[in-house]
Amino acid sequence: MSYAKTISVGLIGVTGHLVEVEADLSNGLPAVVLSGLPDTALNEARDRVRAAIVNSGQRWPNRRITVNLLPAALPKFGSSFDLAIAAALLAGAGELPLAALEGVAMVGELGLDGAVRPVRGVLPMVVAAARAGMSRVLVPLDNAREATLVPGVRVKAIDRLHRLVAFVRDGEELLDPPAGPPESSPDGPDLADVAGQALGRRAIEVAAAGGHHLALLGPPGSGKTMLAERLPSILPELDDASAIEVTALHSVAGALTGGTSLIRRPPFQSPHHTSTVPSLVGGGSGLARPGAISLAHRGVLFLDEAPEFASRALEALRQPLETGRVCLARVRGGTEYPACVQLVLAANPCPCARPAGDTVCECTPLARRRYQGRLSGPLLDRVDIQVSLTPLRAAELMAAGAGGEPSAVVGERVAKARAAATARWAGSGWRTNAEVPGPVLRRPPWRLPRAHTAHLRSWLDSGALSARGFDRVLRLAWSIADLDGRQRPSAGDVDEAVGLRTGEAL
Ligand SMILES: [Zn+2]
C-alpha cells in the first residue's frame, strides 16, 4: 500500500481554503475513486489527470486508486485541483519523491496533453496559501504574475506537467514568473474633459465626498455618461486591503487579463440595460462568478438608461445595495461576494429619448411620468442626489474654454472631505455621510440651528418635502460643509443641498 499527500487551494466565494489532496494506491481491481464532495468538474479531473500523466511520458499506475480531498465538508469547484491530484498520484505510485513539495501549495488545470492551464481566482488562492504559512506556491504560467502580487510567498510557475516531474525527480528548476515592469492601471477619463456642466460637476463631487448614490436625469447630450465615468477619477485610491480584495474579485471572475498589478483605482462597471440578473449580481454553475455589482465593489456601478432595465434586474440589486454583499444560493452551500458600490443611475426624461425641445418628441406628460416612475421605489429610495441636467449651450461651452478643473484637483478636495467625515463618525461605525441614519442628524449634537433649517421644516410641514427627503438634504449639507472645510453646515450649505434634489418633488 502506498500513500502520498499534496496541498492545493479551493475557493468559496472570494476566500481561499487549503485543501489536502490524498492519494492511496492499493492492490485490487484497477479503478479511480474520487471522494470529498467533488462536483462534476472534479469528476472529470479523473480523466484529465490520467491523460495528462500518460501524455507526459509517465506510467499510469494500474492499481486501485483512491483520491480524497480534505476537508470533506468544504465544497469544491472547478479544475484547479488537477495539478495537486496528479502530483499526489505520481508520488503515491512511487514515481516521485515528495520531499521537494513540502510546504508547497499548487493549483492548475491539466490539459489532456499534459499542459498546465490557467484557472480563475489564483490571487485569492495565493493569499490563502500565504496566510496558512505555505512558503511557496506553484501556479500555471499564465497566472504567475497575478500570483506575485501577494507579498510574503515565493511564486514558481509551471507550463507542463513533465516540468514538475523533472523538478521533483531531477532537481531541474521550475519557471520564474514572467518579468517585466508592473503595468500601471491606465488613467481613466479626466474631469478636465468636461466643459461647463457646473451642476453636474458639483453633483459628482458631493457624491464622491459623502459616498452618496446619485441619479442624473437629462436628455441625450447632457453629459450624464461623461460625468458618471469620471466619478472614479475623483474617489480616493484603494488602500492595500481593498486593492487585494477588489483584485481578487476580478481574478475570480476571470477578468484580470494579463493581470499584472493590483487594482488601485476604484473600479467602474457599466452593465447594459439588457443585462440578466446573474450578470448583474453573479451566478453560474460550479464556482459562481461575481456579477457587475461585485466587480464594482469599492467603486462605481453605473446604470445608464436605468428605466430600461428589467424590473427584476433592478429588484435584484436592492438587497446587495442594502447589505453591501451578494448572497448566491447554491445547491451545496451559498456563495457570498462583497458588493459595496456607489450607484449612479442615468435616465432620459422620456421613453423616446429625443433632445429636450426637439419637436419630434410627442411623449405625453403622463408617459414621461410613467417612464421616470419605473425607477422610483426601492432603488431611488437609496439615492441621495438627484439632478436634472440640460444639454450644454454654445455660450456655456465657449465660456468654459479648454475645459474644467482636472480630476486631481477635485480629488484632493474629496480626500480632505472624506477625512473630515471619517474623523467625525469615528467610533460610530460609519465612514461616509451617506451611511449616517437620518435620526442621528436630527438629534443633538448634530442637529443644525433652527435658522438653518427653517425652509426645510416649512416644506416638510406643508407636505412638499418627505421625511426621507429631509434627511437626505441634511446628509448632503454635511458633505458640502466637509468639501468646503466647514465644521458644520451653514444655511447656504443646506440651500445648496436642496438644489441637489431637483430631480423629483422634494
Ligand atoms: Zn419623448
pLDDT reported for residue 394: 64
| Dist. CA 219 → ligand 1 center (Å) | 9
Long-range contacts of 457-463 (CB under 8 A, 24+ apart): 459/506
**Range 389-410 average pLDDT:** 76
CA of 240 to the centre of ligand 1 (A): 47
**78 vs 49, which has greater pLDDT?**
49
- Rg, Å, the chain Cα set: 28
Can you give the pLDDT at residue 385?
A: 94
Residue with cell 448632503: 476
How many angstroms separate the CA atoms of 465 and 403, rounded? Answer: 36
Distance 435 CA to ligand 1 centre (A): 36
User: Which pLDDT belongs to residue 504?
Assistant: 47
Segment 330-348, tens digit of pLDDT: 666 678 899 999 999 999 8
What pLDDT does 268 receive? 95
Residue burial 191-207, b: 16+ Cβ < 10 Å; e: rest: bbebbbbebbbbbbbbb
Mean pLDDT of the chain: 87
- 399 alpha carbon to ligand 1 midpoint, in Å? 30
Give yes or no for a contact between 494 and 453, defined as CB atoms under 8 angstroms apart: yes
- Using the predicted structure, report yes or no on whether residue 47 has a pLDDT greater than 60: yes
Question: Residue 372 C-alpha to ligand 1 middle, in angstroms?
Answer: 12
Whole-number Å distance, alpha carbon 349 to ligand 1 midpoint, is: 7
pLDDT at position 505 is 40
Please, what is the angle between helix 491-499 and helix 467-483, to 10°?
120
pLDDT at 111: 95
- The mean pLDDT value for 157-180 works out to 87
Return the pLDDT at 79: 86
Distance between CA atoms of residues 253 and 256, nearest Å: 8
pLDDT range class, residue 99, cuts 50, 70, 90:
confident
- Three-state DSSP at 268 gives strand
pLDDT higher than 70, residue 70: yes
pLDDT at 397 over 80: no
Expressed in angstroms and rounded, the spacing between residue 207 Cα and the centre of ligand 1 is 29
Question: Residue with C-alpha cell 472529470?
Answer: 44
Where is pLDDT greater, at 425 or 353? 425
In a 13 Å sphere around the CA of 458, the CA atoms on its Cβ side amount to 4
Report CA(389)–ligand 1 centroid distance (Å): 16
pLDDT at 263: 87
**CA separation for the pair 504, 250 (Å, rounded):** 36
pLDDT digits (tens, 9 = 90+) for 429-488: 899 999 999 999 999 899 999 888 888 888 888 877 788 888 999 999 999 999 999 999
**For the chain, what's the residue count?**
506
Q: List the alpha helices (DSSP H) in 56-172.
A: 82-92, 122-131, 144-147, 161-170
Distance (Å) from CA 307 to ligand 1 centroid: 14
DSSP track, 182-237: PPPPPP---GGG--S-HHHHHHHHHHHHHT--EEEE--TTS-HHHHHHHSGGGSPP
pLDDT number for residue 257: 63
The neighbouring-strand residues paired with 386 are 215, 501
Question: Please, which residues bridge with residue 272 across strands?
Answer: none
Instruction: List, for residues 213-267, the tens digit of each pLDDT value.
Output: 999 988 888 889 999 999 999 999 999 889 989 999 998 888 776 556 788 899 9
What does pTM read for this prediction? 0.88
Q: How far is the CA of 371 from the centre of ligand 1 (A)?
A: 10
- Between CA 271 and CA 304, with CA 340 as vertex, the angle to 5 degrees is 25
- CA-to-CA dists, residue 73 to 45, 76, 145, 222, 369, angstroms: 19, 9, 31, 55, 53
- Hey, which residues does 345 pair with through a beta bridge? 215, 303
> How close is the Cα of 363 to the center of ligand 1, in Å?
4
Predicted pLDDT at 506: 39
Secondary structure letter of residue 237 according to DSSP = P
User: What does the block give as the cell for 370?
Assistant: 410613467
pLDDT at 395 over 80: no
More confident residue, 201 or 358: 201
Among 355-364, 393-402, 453-462, the range with the most confident prediction by mean pLDDT is 453-462
Q: Do residues 218 and 439 make contact, with C-beta atoms less than 8 angstroms apart?
A: no
Q: What are phi and psi of 373, to 5 degrees?
A: -65, -20
Q: 348 CA distance to ligand 1 centroid (A)?
A: 9
User: Could you tell me the sign of the dihedral formed by the alpha carbons of 234, 235, 236, 239, in that order?
Assistant: negative
Output the CA 346–ligand 1 centroid distance in Å. 16
Contacts of 418 (CB under 8 A, 6+ apart): 209, 211, 236, 431, 432, 482
